[in-house]
Amino acid sequence: MSNNRLIMIVIDALRFDTACSHMGFMQHLVEQGKAARYEVKSEVPSLSRPLYETILTGTPPLVHGIVGNGIVRLSTQESLFHLAKRSGKTTAAAAYYWVSELYNHAPFRHDIDRIQLDKDAPIENGLFYFEDHYPDSHLFAEAQWLVSEKNPDFLYIHPMNVDDDGHKFTADSVQYRNRVLATDTLLALTLPKWMDLGYDIIVTADHGMTVDGNHGGNTTNDRHVPLFIASKKVKPIVQHQIVSQLQMAPLACHLLGIHPSEAMVPLLIPGLVD
């Protein structure tokens, strides 16, 4: 039985094709019947801040209004953090500071907002970094601390090193591919422990990365990202139907056992267990 607890991991700028070719541990979970794999088409513009908001609220940029990375304000939508808290669940995040600016405080105050432990905030337990090269290994260690010490019902984890290396070296580089391998290793070291604790797992990305070392456009490389789901509520098979990114938030609500917001689209993702 599901414990209605969820860890959502959004790996910034992870392309679908590179995830399939270089994430050996995640594919192992699929082959062993422990996870499902999907291909997701992101919203556009395929930029980070707009798509953080899309993933966490289930609304497109034209609705939520975060249409570029330079828009710094709190979200006007009901996010997964708000909905989980309203349902009596505890929330946490180990993430880039833009997530804090969307849901806890904007603008980010670098001197005091890195560690946020506030039961009245949408993200009750937040550990936020503000440099793109901040090591993913440190971030996953912080996520493990949140699991061990705060025992959240909903934990959001957002590593940035894949995006950072993609911008520095392009998606067609040894560095980008090796970074995806390194991220897969971090998942191998952490996911089994979290799954043993009863957490459902979502691993996805906000957008992809091009051979020009950028993103924001309408190409497959810009928009197509992976989705891995480890949950008894989802059949553990490879799904070949492309899924809209607007499905991520209602999917998370389904796994958490909470009601979605009225702004979210109906949950139509294939492979759900009745």
- Over residues 172-211, the pLDDT tens digits come to 999 999 999 999 999 999 999 999 999 999 999 999 999 9
Residue 253 · residue 83 · CB < 8 Å: yes
Provide the pairing of β-strand 154-157 with 6-10: parallel
Fold of 6-256: Alkaline Phosphatase, subunit A (3.40.720)
Q: Where in the chain are the domains?
A: 6-256
As a whole number, the mean pLDDT across the chain is 98
Q: How confident is the model at residue 2 (pLDDT cuts 50, 70, 90)?
A: low
* pTM, full prediction: 0.98
As a whole number of angstroms, the distance between CA 12 and CA 31 comes to 25
As a whole number of angstroms, the distance between CA 168 and CA 162 comes to 10
pLDDT at 1: 42
Sequential DSSP letters for 201-246: EEEE-S----TTS---SSSHHHHEEEEEEE-TTB--SEEEEEEEGG
As a whole number of angstroms, the distance between CA 49 and CA 257 comes to 26
Give residues with Cβ within 8 angstroms of 74, minimum separation 6: 101, 102, 103, 105, 106
Q: How confident is the model at residue 3 (pLDDT cuts 50, 70, 90)?
A: confident
For 107, other C-beta atoms within 10 Å of its C-beta total: 11
